[in-house]
C-alpha cells in the first residue's frame, strides 16, 4: 500500500530504495501534524529525572553541552539564540508520541531507539555531524534549514563535547516546515539550523555495533554457561623455573576453554533479551494498590489492556521477550501475547487462556502493562 508520509512509496519500496541507503525528503508528509507538546511542556520534561535531556550551546563559536535534569531557571530568560534543548524518549512519557511511532511500524520494533524532540530558537542547532542511526526528522512548528552531504570525509573536530564535522560541505539543502519530513540513513552528514523558534521530532532507529553485541553476548554466556571440571595435574613434573607457565598448563586451559559452546538458541535468547532490555534509567511504576488476579482479568476483559509506554515486547519463534526477560508460553498463549507485542494492545473481550492470564497478571504487577486503552 502506498503511504503518503513516505512520499507515495509503499513501505517495501521505501525499504528497497532508501532504508540505510539514501535520504528521502517528503513535503507535507503529515499534513495534519501538530507539535506533540508545547515548548514549556518540553522544558518541564527536561526537568524530570526519569527523562534524558541535553542542552547544546554555541557561545562565540565554542560548543558546550550540559545534561539534564534541568531546573526551570535553566530555561527562563535564556537568550533567544544559538541553543538547542534535546529531550530523548518522549515516547516513554507521551501517548501521542507512541501513537506517532506506530506509523513507523513497517520497521521492526527491535530496531527502534526512541522519539526525541528538540526545541531551538532561531539560529540554534547542534552543528554539522553524522549519526550512526537511521532517523526520520519530522518538523513541528517553526522552520528548520537542513543541509546534507554524501561526503566521505567524516573527520570530527577534536576537543569539543559533541560530534562536529571538521569539513562539512553541504550538497543539498531544504527548508522544512510543519509536517515535512526528512529521512537520513546512517553516516549521512547533516546540519539543521532553526530559522524560527523550532520543534523537531527525531524518530531514531538503533543499530548495535558488532563490538557491543559481542560484549553483551559474552555477559549473557557468563550467566548461562555450565562448564564442569577443575584443573588437574596428577602427572606434574619438576619445573626448572617455578615462575614459568608450562605448555602442559596452557594446553589444559585451552582444552577447558574449548568447552565454551553456544548454539542458535543461545543467540535467540540473548538477542531477544538484549533488544527488549529497558535502558538503565527506565523505571516502571507498579500499581500502588494492585487488583486481585480475578478482578484484573475481569477488568481486562471488559476494557482491554495495553503495554506501558516504556515496555518493549518482542518475540522470536516461540519465545516472548518482555523488558529483558524471556518466556516460552504454550501455543494458545503465544497467539495472544504475540498479538499484544505487535499491536501494543489487546482489545476488550480477548479470550485469554490460563497461561496468558498468569503472565499478564505478573506483568501488570510489575507495571509493564496497563488496563483499558492508551489515552
Q: Write out the residues near ligand SIN by the rule CB under 6 A.
A: 84, 118, 125-126, 131, 135, 190, 192, 200, 202
Length of the chain: 375
| Closest CB to ligand SIN: residue number | 118
- Collapsed DSSP state (helix, strand, coil) of residue 296: helix
Select from 72-80, 131-139, 163-171, 246-254 the region that touches Co ion (CB under 5 A): 131-139
Tell me the closest approach of the beta carbon of residue 209 to ligand SIN, in angstroms.
18
Q: Of 163 and 332, which CB lies nearer to ligand SIN in the complex structure?
A: 163
Tell me the closest approach of the beta carbon of residue 117 to ligand SIN, in angstroms.
8
C-alpha cell read off for 293: 488476579
The rounded distance, in Å, linking the Cα atoms of 97 and 115 is 7
The rounded distance, in Å, linking the Cα atoms of 333 and 319 is 11
Q: Of 25 and 373, which CB lies nearer to ligand SIN in the complex structure?
A: 25
Angle, CA of 58, 64 and 68, to the nearest 5°: 120
Q: Of 50 and 131, which CB lies nearer to ligand SIN in the complex structure?
A: 131
Tell me the closest approach of the beta carbon of residue 105 to ligand SIN, in angstroms.
22
Select from 71-79, 129-137, 166-174, 336-344 the region that touches Co ion (CB under 5 A): 129-137
The rounded distance, in Å, linking the Cα atoms of 92 and 115 is 9
Q: How far is CA 267 from the centre of its chain?
A: 20
- Cα dist from 354 to 49, 104, 332, 349, 364, whole Å: 38, 33, 10, 15, 15
The rounded distance, in Å, linking the Cα atoms of 161 and 96 is 32
The 163-202 site mask, x for binding Co ion (CB under 5 A), equals: ----------------------------------------
Tell me the closest approach of the beta carbon of residue 120 to ligand SIN, in angstroms.
6
Tell me the closest approach of the beta carbon of residue 30 to ligand SIN, in angstroms.
16
Q: Of 52 and 118, which CB lies nearer to ligand SIN in the complex structure?
A: 118
Tell me the closest approach of the beta carbon of residue 84 to ligand SIN, in angstroms.
5
Is residue 131 a contact point for Co ion (CB under 5 A)? yes
The secondary structure element, H or E, covering residue 114 is strand 112-120
The rounded distance, in Å, linking the Cα atoms of 330 and 322 is 16
Structural Rg of the chain based on CA atoms: 25
Residue 360 contact among ligand SIN, Co ion, none, beta carbon within 5 to 8 Å by kind: none
Tell me the closest approach of the beta carbon of residue 325 to ligand SIN, in angstroms.
32
Q: Of 131 and 277, which CB lies nearer to Co ion in the complex structure?
A: 131
- Collapsed DSSP state (helix, strand, coil) of residue 138: strand
Q: List contacts with Co ion (CB under 5 A).
A: 131
Amino acid at each position: 500500500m502506498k503511504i503518503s508520509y513516505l512520499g507515495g512509496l509503499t513501505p517495501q519500496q521505501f525499504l528497497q530504495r532508501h532504508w540505510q541507503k539514501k535520504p528521502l525528503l517528503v513535503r507535507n508528509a503529515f499534513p495534519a501534524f501538530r507539535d506533540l507538546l508545547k515548548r514549556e511542556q518540553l522544558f518541564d520534561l527536561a526537568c524530570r529525572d526519569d527523562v534524558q535531556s541535553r542542552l547544546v550551546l554555541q557561545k562565540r563559536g565554542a560548543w558546550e553541552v550540559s545534561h539534564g535534569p534541568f531546573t526551570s531557571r535553566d530555561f527562563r530568560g535564556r537568550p533567544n539564540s544559538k541553543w538547542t534543548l534535546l529531550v530523548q524518549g518522549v515516547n516513554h512519557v507521551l501517548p501521542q508520541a507512541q501513537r506517532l511511532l506506530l506509523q513507523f511500524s513497517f520497521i521492526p520494533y527491535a530496531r527502534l531507539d526512541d522519539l526525541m524532540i528538540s526545541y531551538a530558537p532561531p539560529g540554534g542547532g547542534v552543528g554539522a555531524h553524522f549519526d550512526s542511526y537511521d532517523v526520520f526528522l519530522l518538523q513541528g512548528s517553526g522552520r528548520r534549514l537542513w543541509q546534507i552531504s554524501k561526503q566521505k570525509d567524516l573527520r570530527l573536530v577534536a576537543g569539543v563535547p559533541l560530534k562536529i564535522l571538521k569539513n562539512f560541505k553541504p550538497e543539498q539543502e531544504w527548508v522544512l516546515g510543519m509536517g515535512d519530513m526528512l529521512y537520513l540513513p546512517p553516516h549521512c552528514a547533516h546540519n539543521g539550523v532553526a530559522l524560527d523558534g523550532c520543534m523537531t521530532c527525531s524518530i531514531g532507529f538503533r543499530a548495535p555495533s558488532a563490538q557491543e553485541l559481542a560484549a553483551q553476548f559474552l555477559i549473557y554466556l557468563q550467566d548461562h554457561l555450565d562448564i564442569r571440571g577443575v584443573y588437574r595435574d596428577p602427572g606434574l613434573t619438576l619445573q626448572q623455573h617455578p615462575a614459568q607457565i608450562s605448555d602442559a598448563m596452557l594446553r589444559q586451559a585451552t582444552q577447558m576453554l574449548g568447552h565454551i559452546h553456544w548454539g542458535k538458541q543461545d543467540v535467540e535468547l540473548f538477542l531477544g533479551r538484549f533488544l527488549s532490555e529497558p535502558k538503565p534509567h527506565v523505571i516502571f511504576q507498579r500499581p500502588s494498590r494492585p487488583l486481585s488476579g480475578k478482578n484484573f482479568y475481569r477488568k481486562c476483559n471488559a476494557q482491554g489492556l495495553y503495554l506501558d509506554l516504556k515496555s518493549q515486547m518482542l518475540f522470536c519463534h516461540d519465545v516472548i521477550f518482555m523488558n529483558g526477560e524471556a518466556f516460552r508460553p504454550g501455543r494458545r498463549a503465544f497467539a495472544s501475547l504475540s498479538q499484544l507485542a505487535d499491536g501494543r494492545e489487546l482489545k476488550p473481550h480477548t479470550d485469554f487462556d490460563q497461561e496468558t492470564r498468569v503472565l499478564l497478571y505478573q506483568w501488570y504487577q510489575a507495571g509493564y502493562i496497563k488496563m483499558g486503552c492508551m489515552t
